[in-house]
Amino acid sequence: MFCDIFYGGHVGDDLDRRLMRSFMDSLMSDALFEDGKFFAPDFPVPSPMSYDGYKAYIAEALPEESPKMYGLHPNAEIMFLTTQSNTLFMMLMQLQPRTSAASTDGELSREDRCKAQLEDILDMLPENFDMLEITDRVEERTPYVSVCLQECGRMNELLSTIKSSLKELALGLKGDLTISEQMEALMQSMYLDVVPAKWEAVAYPSMKTLGPWLKDMIQRCDQLVSWSSDLNLPKAVWLPALFNPQSFLRAVLQSTARMNQWPLDKMALITDVTKKELSEITAPPREGAYIYGLYMEGARWDKKGGCIRDSILKDLFPELPPIYLKAVTADKADLKDVYDCPVYKTKRRGPTYIWTFQIKTREPPAKWILAGVSLLMAADI
């Protein structure tokens, strides 16, 4: 009643309701009445005293607030402070005047810097995908081929947007076009080393600055170039490199359903964190697919023990080994001793949620729920 009605009625997200239910289970448990059982061992209750004594204890003797009190790892505080620092520095950069003239010490003006930068970016950008040529080579439009074609189309849209906006800005800087508000916004974004809003609108969620973002985008192109060359499922798919990773996960379900003539609505996707290195994978599996490139936040994967463990201090985003995805009928899904771990595109979480993977655990799943453990597709702060 307390969880699902009094409080749950105000919570709309399923994962938030799960967290709230875990808190209530720990707060309203008969185990708390057992001798020697402490809800927060590092925050002992003082001996009985007066009201003023309790106030003095809270003000003077109560230990400092820490992530551990809320079931979080100390890494959570490191991450929070780092994020706050990055936000502060970005705000300070945005306060700098938008001067056009070069400084007296020989530093390039904003326009000169942007002109050199846009030329470098245009030189590094790959060619657009020839969609007609790729489509002509399709013999059977399998779910995996459909994903490849969709991804190439999305990448073409992004590349075209970047190229056209940079060429337009180049003409503006030469004086052939009047500098518009969009050009000014693009120039300011390049100066601040952030991804322009126009590019973000046709791209994918990311917290990278402009330089690493461009490098990452080219690596995404490389995977699509390799995939589209023969249209066969890669031996291992870099899942975070896809615009729509959900479509690939659904393709695993659809492919297995077609192969075995199973109803799609009666199937489940099973995730198995392997003990393999990426270099050891030489071919795709007969059923399902291998994926890689995921990071864990709030905990780590114990490769030797084959289960989730507490984080190591200062190791904020440990990378997981390759994961084997397999589709099975829902009645054969082994959900014993697993933590249903949400997967997000970035550490902003929220709207970047894509799926829930089953991660093996030897401890109660509630521990990882309270710790906010999740899988991320990018280890950017």
pLDDT in tens, 145-167: 999 999 999 999 999 999 999 99
pLDDT in tens, 229-274: 999 999 999 999 999 999 999 999 999 999 999 999 899 999 999 9
pLDDT of residue 71: 76
User: Mean per-residue pLDDT for 360-376?
Assistant: 94
278/362 same-domain check: yes
122/245 same-domain check: no
CB atoms within 10 A of CB 292: 19
Compute the mean pLDDT over every residue in the chain, rounded to the nearest whole number: 89
CB atoms within 10 A of CB 116: 11
Q: Under a CB-based contact definition with an 8 Å cutoff, are residues 303 and 289 in contact?
A: no
pLDDT at 346 over 90: yes
Q: Under a CB-based contact definition with an 8 Å cutoff, are residues 354 and 325 in contact?
A: no
267/303 same-domain check: yes
Sheet holding 289-292, edge to edge: 237-238, 289-292, 323-329, 267-273
Domains: count for the chain = 3
- 89 in a structural domain: no
220/262 same-domain check: no
223/321 same-domain check: no
Task: Give which of 377, 110, 369, 93 is closest to 241, Cα–Cα.
Answer: 377
Domain that holds residue 227: 108-231
- 93 in a structural domain: no
> Of 178, 210, 231, at which residue does a domain stop?
231
- 78 in a structural domain: no
pLDDT at 52 over 80: yes
Give the list of residues 6+ apart from residue 366 with CB closer than 8 angstroms, or none.
22, 25, 26
266/174 same-domain check: no
Show the tokens assigned to 376.
């991320």
Task: Give which of 25, 24, 36, 68 is closest to 310, Cα–Cα.
Answer: 68
> Of 199, 231, 263, at which residue does a domain stop?
231
- 86 in a structural domain: no
pLDDT at 139 over 70: yes
- 244 in a structural domain: yes
pLDDT category at 64 given cuts 50, 70, 90 is: confident
Which residue's structure tokens are 């690596």?
219
Question: Between residues 39 and 290, which one has the greater pLDDT?
Answer: 290
Show the tokens assigned to 368.
């990882």
181/288 same-domain check: no
User: Mean per-residue pLDDT for 338-360?
Assistant: 95
Task: Give which of 270, 307, 306, 263 is closest to 288, Cα–Cα.
Answer: 270
> Of 206, 231, 256, at which residue does a domain stop?
231
CATH number of the domain within which 217 lies? 1.20.1270
pLDDT of residue 380: 79
Range of lowest pLDDT (4-13, 176-185, 269-278): 4-13
- CA angle, 39 then 42 then 43, to 5°: 75
| Most confident residue range from 99-103, 146-150, 183-187, 370-374 | 146-150
- 140 in a structural domain: yes
pLDDT category at 112 given cuts 50, 70, 90 is: confident
Provide the phi-psi class of 298: left if phi over 0, else alpha when psi is between -120 and 50, else beta. Answer: left
Q: Under a CB-based contact definition with an 8 Å cutoff, are residues 21 and 3 in contact?
A: yes
pLDDT of residue 91: 86
364/241 same-domain check: yes
User: Mean per-residue pLDDT for 208-217?
Assistant: 96
pLDDT of residue 335: 85
Distance CA 148, CA 282 (A): 20
pLDDT category at 361 given cuts 50, 70, 90 is: very high
Q: What is the 3-state secondary structure (H, E, C) of 291-315?
A: EECCEEECCEEECCCCEEECCCCCC
Helix (H) or strand (E) holding 327: strand 323-329
Give the list of residues 6+ apart from residue 90 with CB closer than 8 angstroms, or none.
192, 194
| Most confident residue range from 54-63, 77-86, 253-262 | 253-262
pLDDT of residue 255: 95
- 254 in a structural domain: yes
279/304 same-domain check: yes
354/262 same-domain check: yes
206/133 same-domain check: yes
- 97 in a structural domain: no
pLDDT category at 63 given cuts 50, 70, 90 is: confident
Q: What is the CA radius of gyration of the chain?
A: 26
Locate the DSSP E strands across the chain. Answer: 237-238, 267-273, 289-292, 295-297, 300-302, 307-309, 323-329, 338-344, 353-360, 374-376
CATH number of the domain within which 269 lies? 3.10.490.20
pLDDT at 102 over 60: no
209/128 same-domain check: yes
